[in-house]
A and B are shown apart, each in its own frame.
Chain A
């Protein structure tokens, strides 16, 4: 195919694409125009039904809790897959890290990087905890909070403290905690069955007033379990990749 023919085929293709794209766009509702009805229904009913003011969390962990359960297990299986694929094989050994130039030791993490990483560990951890435990009141949730908490652990690594990082997240403990998080979600659903309601129904006392941190029954509980699961899954994935990649820097403090 010569360049000329290729250009002609491309021109015809792009013209057709633009025509259909423009046609499709012209039929869309206006920007920000929502026709409902589900959003309006949830807006009107959710606070009375669940005592949660974080309506998005109420949808995620209650109205469509079963879908969220499936999504959570996607991450669980991903972490398991990474751990399986990247496990240490026979004959694999850690090697010393060296500079690209021969005979020169690898550079250490600078004090500036180390300081700024470690300064953020505390605040980031608190932020993640807040997000995980306030799904029922504010725009937040276990998923976001979990990732933020995992970031705090990864910051410790960035600070050049891989040994501490490994000690903070021994694989066995992280594995177990991840399983507890994933299993907790399932068990909350089973608890509803025990109480004679539908799977994942909000069977706990709703508490009052609506919008209090301890209100909303299972929504807060599920968000917490999701937070644990997500944080541990990310720590596990990062740990596996780092173990594959980075060899402990002997000189780092």
Chain B
């Protein structure tokens, strides 16, 4: 009986696969159009609200990129803020020193066409520098597992911070100031959309299942012909790339960076976003990043009680998982991401 009907079944399985293959691009196009629209209405948006949107977008990029390493590939990394620092400093050096020195007659201010046009290559180069750092850390240490990897990444994060603190060329502990405010709604929201799209498109493919296979069972993955080290390093490098891009956006949004801004606590905050959003669920993680950004803003007025309330709310978040619920709702509303995971039989 069953051998007579397999092709009937094929069609239903493919039926669920088809929207999955086509629609992430549609989602990206909509989000990019939204970013352009947002930027063109930028004048009517309150500057404070604008800043919150910038921070939320940067946190989304950080969280979904760490999610690739922690959530999808199952590797515990404690140095995501360090990759962000590498990107931030690289970009600040590019726009603050290298560009003015090599092209002295360019008008470089936050909104000048030259700096806006050059910002894309700056973002990409900053990301690549961070990705290189990710490769240097990842290639040797990703042969380690679990706790050992956590320790190596913790150490690396501190090394980066201490190096920056003691390098006078980048301001040492004082940091770098007077960075051009190039980051605007278009760059922040657009890059967040690209990051989220990349993560979803990457994981929802035969190739992307390799990350999950490595997370679920490394020995079995290797026995099925998957080069597990290569997959782990790839996840780490892509994660570091987007963390570097986020760092560049951050530097050009707040106009001032210092080594302390990229310490272990910053890494930890990103980890909280990933865990709250549900490990391995990019949309949920993005929602969690937005919620935590908003939480940080709401709690600003509480001054000394801020961390107490923050901790309490995080505990409540952990129990009730609002970001997963919002993500599930979004999955239902949006065309992509349905019928993908094994959760729904």
- Are A and B genuine complex partners? no
Query: Which B positions have Cβ atoms within 8 angstroms of A?
Result: none
**Chain A interface residues toward B at CB < 8 A:** none
